[in-house]
A and B are shown apart, each in its own frame.
Chain A
Amino acid sequence: MLTFISSLPGPIAQGIIWGIMAMGVYITFRILDIADLTVDGTMGTGGVTLVVLVAGGMNVGLAMLIAFLAGCAAGLVTGLFHTKFGIPAILAGILTQLILYSVNLRITGQRSNVPLSVDRYNLILSLRNLGRAILVGAIFAAAIIAVMYWFFGTELGHSLRATGCNMNMARANGINTDTNKIIGLVLSNGLVALSGALLAQYQGFADINMGRGAIVIGLAAVIIGEVLLGKVFKNFALKLLAAVFGGIIYYIVITLVLQMGLNANDLKMLSALVVAVFLGIPYWQKKLRERKSNREVKADA
């Protein structure tokens, strides 16, 4: 138990970083109602872009900005595939993800792993200093929540929400739903890449595979946050915060099960099953309710 508690700062820091990623997933999955698989590639794009630029001598802040923009570009590609090529959103995301695999390798110069030592470069966070890592992560998360709260309260933000909620209604009210989907995908992937850039600094390297399964972790964070905090957190800013908490809880649970002896290679299976079950719960609840009301109707008759 003591080892578990003393090991908490690590998963908290990691959880916050993935929580930022989860807020990106929230934009597509919850606001636009699109499951965007681009993020598995974008996470790595953000990471390798940052590492290569910083190793090349660039200022970390600027490198993070460029990593963010690289993610935005990836989201733009998916958005164009989806709206201008008429490709279903999931497939559009998979295509971009595959493109990004090659792109990421180009960025790293065909290396699958690029190191970034905190001793040699002036990184804003690292796992060597967990207190600082948590603080930096929290500042970023708070700033992103503030910006998103503002954006989704604007006219444009409202029109994005309408697009995800009811496309017929949105169009009837003069909203260009295609453009809005693209904007949402761009912002979402920008955030995911930013999270990748933070993660690369935190772990001291970027890896071509660092985003594999990212969508599942992002979804897990969103869903865990909703299930555990949804009843209390009604406000939009708090819902985003719930996704960050979801990320933290996810990593704490992962740390716990690893300490209990779970094979690390089985982690992805576990994560995917957790997401499947949590996505299934509302569906089963609905089924049960329907069956119950059916029975009541029969009893009345």
Chain B
Amino acid sequence: MLKVTNVYKTFNKGTVNEKKALNGINLELKSGDFVTIIGGNGAGKSTLLNSICGVFPVDSGSIVIDGEDVTRLPEHKRAKYLGRVFQDPMMGTAADMWIEENMSLALRRGKARGLKWAITNKERTQYRVMLSQLGLGLENRLSSKVGLLSGGQRQALTLLMAVMQQPKLLLLDEHTAALDPKTAETVLNLSEKFINESKLTAMMITHNMRDAIHHGNRLIMMDNGRIIYDVSGEEKKNLTVDDLLKKFADLSGSALDNDRMLLSK
């Protein structure tokens, strides 16, 4: 479903701030894989996801989604394959627009947008059904401005918008990190539910090692723009947080430096 081959990305090349963010990444995901990604600060986790989305061009290497080489495609043209939820709950929705308007934008992802009316009554019924799955009462607030919702509600809505078109790949970039623990759990459980129900292929960055072990069928650990550990199946299920910390120290030659990750241990 996803094939990342030899991808390199350096920011601010040739300056004192030069940062090799991706250092020859190779990664292949099978259809239905749910990969959790952990790693230290600046390991390249978000850069990897952003490269797949086309937020910036990569320096070299190739990215293939479901057989199509998207390496040179601009961000908006790749969007039809991808569902995305960002760390910042404000980033995934348009605050000044209504809930139904936001959903109608997501429903047309990857389709030509013409001069047809943006929302039909049939869609509205559909939106209500979808929103009721969130269990947040949003189904009765179709014409509320998204800016009036809480961070958790916005993130749940962003998640719904990301999955409603059945993306080839769902990318979750620490999407629960900015939420309070209870809301974070709700959103994470919803993510799991949507992924399982629609058998989505998904990648989830998290700073919570227990979540990384508990969710998905595969776990990768990144350090210095490389994938240093890739585990799946039974072996992943039997991991413990201490295993992961030890693994990190062995493989990277230093202790894990992700403060939030250690705090949430």
Contact = CB atoms under 8 A, between A and B. Distances in A.
A168 B96 contact: no
Contacts of B110: 174
Given A161-B96, A162-B105, A165-B95, A171 B79 contact: yes
Contact of B94 (A151, A153, A165): A165
Nearest to B53: A172
Interface in A155-175: 155-159, 161-162, 165-166, 168-175
A189 interface: no
A166 B94 CA distance: 5
B231 interface: no
Chain A interface, >50% SS class: helix
B122 interface: no
A154 interface: yes
A102 interface: no
B76 to A, nearest CB: 5
B115 A166 contact: no
Contacts of B80: 174
Contacts of A156: 113-115
B94 A161 contact: yes
A297 B135 CA distance: 33
Contacts of A176: 74, 76
Contacts of A172: 53, 75, 79, 82, 84, 92
Given A162-B94, A169-B93, A170-B94, A175 B76 contact: yes
B105 to A, nearest CB: 5
B246 interface: no
Interface in A132-152: 151
B101 interface: yes
Contacts of A153: 117-118
A6 B164 CA distance: 60
Contacts of A45: none
Nearest to A162: B94
A228 to B, nearest CB: 21
Contacts of A175: 76, 79, 105, 113
B104 interface: yes
A159 B107 CA distance: 12
Given A154-B115, A155-B118, A158-B118, A174 B97 contact: no
Interface of A: 151, 153-159, 161-162, 165-166, 168-177
25 contacts: A153-B118, A154-B116, A154-B117, A154-B118, A155-B104, A155-B115, A155-B116, A158-B97, A158-B101, A158-B105, A159-B105, A159-B113, A161-B97, A165-B94, A165-B97, A166-B90, A166-B91, A166-B93, A168-B86, A169-B92, A169-B105, A172-B92, A174-B108, A175-B76, A175-B105
